[in-house]
Structure formats: C-alpha cells, structure tokens
C-alpha cells in the first residue's frame, strides 16, 4: 500500500518541477579534513542521547539503524559547511535540515518528499562518512521515477501486485516496459531474483558511497540502498540533508 496522505496539489508539483535537474555525483567535494570533522560532529551528535533515534525493522524488531540530529553549535557549524559547498548548486533562499544516519540494513525504495502537502520541496543529498568494511562497494540507487510526497514503495512482489491504480498514479514515470538489467540487479541488489521488485523502474544514478563525494538529487526521486547481505556489507553511516524553497 502507498500512503496518499500529504500528496501535493498539481499546481505545486508544477512549481517544484521547474527547479528539477538530473541527479549527480559531486566528486571530491569534501577534503579528507572536512570528512574527519564531519565524523567528529557525528560522534558528538550520537553521544547526546537526547538527539538520537533508533529505528527498528518491522519484520524482526532488529535495529535498522539509528539517526542523530545535530544540535546547537554543531548544527550551526554543519549548516555553514553545507551551505558553502552548495553555493553554486542550489538557488537561494532555501531551508535546510540534516541528520546523521547509521544503517545495518539497506533502506527500501522510498521518497523523502515530505508529509506536508504545501511544502515546496527542493534538492537533497548524502555525504558518505563510513562504509563497513572500509572501501566496500555500496550505493544509494536513485531512480528516474518520482513521487511528490513521502512514500515507501513495497519490496514484496505480492504487495506490489496489489497496488491500486489510485496509488500507482502517485508514482510518476513507472513503465512496465522498464526492466533493470541482470548486471544492475547483481551489482546493486540480490540478483535476477529481484527483477520483479524493480519492474517499471529505471536507474537514474547509482551513487557509490565514497568519502569526499556527495550525491545531489531532487527530493521527488525514489531511491533505495543497494543490497547489504549478498555483498558483505555490515553497515554505513552518512550525513543526509534535505532542502525546500522559501
Ligand atoms: Fe532517503
């Protein structure tokens, strides 16, 4: 089931679409010193238990990962660094929010396009800070398909098959002729057995988690983490940010 709550009116969607651009990887945007600084700010944020939040997996109650919301001076310093890096990429004025995410399981296909039907959503991004094991190949896979409010697209084929037309019409660009290739399914997911899970989708950008790089994309894009278990990934930690136009 796809929640329809928070769906935006078509007039606002048209305004949002005027500021869309192709997802991109910004390479070597952060120096090794800046990455170290961000990691220290992550440690400081996680240490303050008032500002951390654990998410549990629905199926077995195991921790999916945990988030930390920076506060005070750390928050101000991160915002300053982010805005400096985004100077030529985003148009002022915009609002910005960010959270550290540590994950032990891959995130399913979803959007972070908000629950407020009036939010003028803009860009979002990820700054990878840690991959376990270090240097392993792990991705955030960003699809061409979009939804203009926060949705979770089912991972189970039976649930996908039960989606109603009024739910599917909120997923822009789904096309039954689209199939991920065997190579894409093996590189990013569990292999050809995942074909039906991604039926209708097309990859816009496979963003590899490498230190110094940042992914930048429109908030409406559906995206998910690449597979962990078949690719010997234990976890990853990064800074996620979202923006909105004001
Ligand atoms: Fe996300």
User: Average pLDDT over the chain, rounded to whole?
Assistant: 94
Assess if residue 25 is contained within a domain: yes
CA of 178 to the centre of ligand 1 (A): 22
Assess if residue 224 is contained within a domain: yes
Total structural domains within the chain: 1
Q: Given this model, what pLDDT does residue 53 score?
A: 64
68, pLDDT greater than 80: yes
* Residues 85-129 pLDDT 10s: 999 999 999 999 999 999 999 999 999 999 999 999 999 999 999
CA of 113 to the centre of ligand 1 (A): 9
CA of 176 to the centre of ligand 1 (A): 24
CA of 223 to the centre of ligand 1 (A): 6
Assess if residue 33 is contained within a domain: yes
* Residues 28-52 pLDDT 10s: 999 999 999 999 999 999 988 666 6
CA of 224 to the centre of ligand 1 (A): 7
- Average pLDDT score over residue span 222-246: 97
Q: Given this model, what pLDDT does residue 51 score?
A: 62
CA of 148 to the centre of ligand 1 (A): 13
CA of 152 to the centre of ligand 1 (A): 10
CA of 16 to the centre of ligand 1 (A): 18
Assess if residue 104 is contained within a domain: yes
Using H for helix, E for strand and C for coil, what is the string for the chain?
A: CCCCCCCCCHHHHHHHHCCCCCCEEECCCCCHHHHHHHHHHHHHHHHCHHHEEEEECCCCCCEEEEEECCCHHHHHHHHHHHHHHCCCCCCCCEEEEEEEEEECCCCCCECCCCCCCCCCEEEEEEEEEEEECCCCCCEEEEEEEECCCCCECCCCHHHHHCCCHHHHCCCECCCCCCCCCHHHHHHHCCCHHHCHHHCCCCEEEEEECCCCCEEEEECCEEEEECCCHHHCCCEEEEEEEEEEEC
Assess if residue 4 is contained within a domain: no
* Residues 170-188 pLDDT 10s: 999 999 999 999 999 999 9
Assess if residue 2 is contained within a domain: no
Assess if residue 39 is contained within a domain: yes
pTM for the full predicted model: 0.95
Q: Given this model, what pLDDT does residue 240 score?
A: 98
**What CATH code is carried by the domain that includes residue 201?**
2.60.120.620
> Binning pLDDT at 50, 70 and 90, where does residue 169 land?
very high
Surrounding residues of ion ligand 1, Cβ less than 5 A:
112
CA of 238 to the centre of ligand 1 (A): 12
Assess if residue 5 is contained within a domain: no
Give the residue numbers spanning the domain of 114.
10-245
């Amino acid at each position: 089931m796809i929640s329809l709550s928070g769906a935006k009116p078509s007039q606002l969607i048209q305004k949002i679409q005027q500021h869309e651009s192709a997802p991109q990887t910004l390479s070597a945007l952060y120096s090794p010193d800046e990455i170290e600084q961000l990691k220290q700010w992550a440690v400081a944020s996680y240490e303050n238990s008032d500002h951390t939040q654990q998410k549990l997996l629905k199926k077995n109650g195991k921790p999916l990962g945990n988030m930390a919301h920076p506060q005070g001076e750390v928050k101000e310093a991160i915002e300053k660094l982010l805005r400096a890096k985004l100077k030529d990429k985003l148009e002022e004025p915009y609002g910005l929010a960010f959270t550290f995410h540590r994950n032990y399981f891959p995130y399913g296909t979803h959007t972070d396009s908000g629950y407020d039907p009036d939010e003028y959503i803009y860009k979002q991004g990820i700054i990878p800070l840690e991959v376990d094991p270090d240097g392993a190949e792990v991705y955030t896979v960003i699809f061409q398909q979009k939804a203009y409010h926060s949705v979770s697209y089912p991972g189970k084929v039976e649930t996908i098959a039960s989606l109603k037309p009024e739910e599917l019409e909120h997923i822009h660009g789904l096309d039954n002729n689209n199939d991920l290739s065997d190579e894409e399914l093996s590189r990013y997911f569990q292999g050809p057995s995942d074909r039906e899970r991604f039926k209708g989708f097309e990859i816009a950008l496979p963003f590899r988690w490498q230190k110094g790089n940042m992914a930048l994309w429109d908030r409406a894009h559906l995206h998910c983490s690449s597979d962990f278990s078949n690719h010997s990934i234990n976890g990853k930690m990064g800074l996620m940010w979202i923006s909105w136009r004001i």
